[in-house]
């Protein structure tokens, strides 16, 4: 079937280029078009647009043509004079890889500097291949607070990568590549096991904290996720009701029927489901009722707008009220300023997390952080801070949290 698809692609591409242009297959699923003269008169971008248009309709495969396959293309363009044909092809290839990283169905013209960028990306991908086997990944934990009692209730596990010779790499730099290479499924399974193991240790020390773990769209696309969660709970001994799986709002809506089925199976294990970055997608009250959701995490972009007043405050109020209408907990992300915390509490949001409380902590520091707390200890904000909330701040959260408070002030 794969060979048949390649032949169908070649035939369709052949139908959109001029007779004087050359079409070839370089190998795998990569094709090349060599054009000159009249074909280039209107610009190479016009050729690329025609080639992309060739992929707009599905390909009919199989003996009866009833198997429909949708395929997308990424196109790189190189023009001008080069010392050799190989160098022209190399530059087009570099532009193609760069276009591919930006999303399917697009083209880019080669520019100087792309080669270094692509080389850096390829090196990053090669280093990632062995990161899991060499124990280069580690977890940090962002505390979550009950905004009514102002006491910590749990943590969100966040992955970091200690890249040899490069130091600690932040997730936004490598998670997209993990997803593109599909390594996110294996790495995600490791995150579940490691986070559950560490959280179970805290629970055995009589700190019954909840744990949240993020799950990508690719993980949710397969039933393997249910096995990975089951294994993580079984091996660690973590109480299922203290584990929350977080998925983004866009992931929730991408394949609603299959997503709902898998989430129901996960719920049957006793865990909780949270929708991350809520408010940034297109779900509605009706859509959310399809899924067994326990928590809505209000995206930090709404919290950051609170300083502007007006619309930001109205949006926050609307999202919190939606949670109440659905009888779902709400958690505000990215709380960094005392005045924002005060407003969020006034809107009766249930939980919150952000640098105002604490920065992400190592497993060891998280244990120390929570050992400071008892039912009588509370996080407070000083009244005398400019624009501060209504409750005093006593600076008793430890070095990380105190630094965060100072940054906020």
What tens digit of pLDDT does each residue of 218-244 get?
A: 999 989 999 999 999 999 999 999 999
State yes or no: pLDDT of 392 exceeds 60.
Answer: no
Structural contact between residues 91 and 110, judged by C-beta atoms closer than 8 angstroms = yes
In this prediction, residue 395 has a pLDDT band, given cuts at 50, 70 and 90, of very low
The H or E element containing residue 230 is helix 224-236
Domain limits, the chain: 2-111, 131-408
Indicate if the pLDDT at residue 257 is higher than 90.
no
Question: What confidence score (pLDDT) does residue 175 get?
Answer: 92
What was the pLDDT predicted at 262?
94
Tell me the per-residue pLDDT of 120-132, one tens digit each, with 9 for 90 and over.
888 888 899 889 9
Domains 2-111 and 131-408 share a fold: no
Instruction: Output the pLDDT for position 390.
Output: 34
Cα 365 to its chain centre, rounded Å, is 25
How many other CB atoms are found less than 10 A from the CB of residue 98?
21
Residue that wins the pLDDT comparison between 220 and 399: 220
How far is 195 from 211, CA to CA, in rounded Å? Answer: 8
Name the CATH architecture for the domain at 131-408: Alpha-Beta Barrel (3.20)
CATH of 2-111, one of 3.40.50.300, 3.30.470.20, 3.30.70.270, 3.90.550.10: 3.30.70.270
Say if residue 402's pLDDT is above 50.
Answer: no
Q: Which pLDDT score, from 0 to 100, does residue 374 have? A: 54
pLDDT tens-place string over residues 150-190: 888 999 999 999 999 889 988 988 998 898 888 999 999 99
pLDDT at 253: 75
Amino acid 364: pLDDT = 87
Residue 385: pLDDT band by 50, 70, 90 thresholds?
A: very low
Chain center to CA of 386: 35
Mean pLDDT of 345-373: 88
| pLDDT tens profile 322-334 | 889 889 999 999 9
Which of 82-86, 216-220, 223-227, 251-255 is least confident?
251-255
Q: Over the stretch 100-116, which tens digit does the pLDDT of each residue have? A: 887 778 999 998 888 88
Six-digit token pair at 161? 């990568």
Strands 329-332 and 167-169: unpaired
- Structure tokens of 188? 């995600």
Closest CA to 343 of 381, 294, 398, 297: 381
């Amino acid at each position: 079937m794969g060979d048949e698809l390649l032949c169908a692609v070649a035939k369709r591409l052949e139908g959109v280029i001029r007779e004087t242009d050359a079409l070839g297959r370089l190998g795998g699923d990569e094709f090349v078009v060599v054009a000159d003269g009249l074909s280039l008169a209107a610009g190479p971008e016009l050729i690329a647009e025609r080639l992309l248009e060739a992929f707009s309709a599905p390909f009919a495969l199989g003996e009866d043509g009833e198997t429909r396959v949708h395929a997308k293309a990424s196109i790189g363009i190189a023009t001008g004079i080069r010392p050799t044909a190989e160098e022209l092809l190399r530059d087009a290839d570099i532009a193609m890889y760069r276009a591919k990283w930006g999303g399917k169905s697009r083209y880019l013209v080669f520019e100087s500097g792309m080669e270094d960028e692509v080389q850096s990306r390829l090196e990053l991908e090669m280093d990632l291949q062995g990161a899991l086997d060499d124990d280069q990944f580690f977890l940090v934990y962002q505390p979550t607070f009950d905004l009514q009692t102002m006491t910590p209730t749990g943590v969100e596990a966040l992955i970091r990568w200690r890249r040899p010779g490069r130091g600690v790499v932040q997730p936004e730099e490598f998670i997209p590549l993990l997803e593109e290479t599909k390594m996110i499924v294996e790495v995600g399974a490791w995150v579940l096991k490691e986070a559950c193991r560490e959280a179970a240790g805290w629970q055995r020390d009589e700190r019954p904290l909840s744990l949240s773990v993020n799950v990508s769209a690719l993980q949710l696309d397969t039933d393997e996720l249910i096995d990975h969660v089951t294994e993580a709970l079984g091996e660690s001994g973590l109480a299922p009701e203290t584990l929350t799986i977080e998925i983004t709002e866009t992931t929730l809506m991408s394949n609603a029927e299959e997503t709902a089925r898998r989430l129901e199976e996960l719920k049957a294990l006793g865990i909780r489901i949270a929708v991350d970055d809520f408010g940034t997608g297109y779900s509605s009250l009706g859509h959310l009722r399809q899924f067994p959701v326990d928590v809505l995490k209000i995206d930090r972009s709404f919290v950051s707008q609170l300083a502007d007043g007006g619309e930001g405050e109205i949006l926050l109020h609307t999202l919190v009220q939606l949670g109440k209408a659905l009888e779902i907990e709400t958690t505000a992300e990215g709380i960094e300023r005392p005045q924002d915390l005060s407003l969020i509490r006034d809107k009766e949001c249930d939980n919150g997390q952000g640098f105002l409380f604490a920065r992400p902590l190592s497993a060891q520091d998280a244990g120390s952080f929570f050992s400071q707390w008892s039912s009588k200890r509370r996080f407070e904000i000083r009244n005398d801070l400019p624009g501060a909330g209504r409750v005093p701040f006593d600076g008793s959260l430890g070095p990380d949290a105190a630094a965060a408070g100072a940054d906020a002030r």
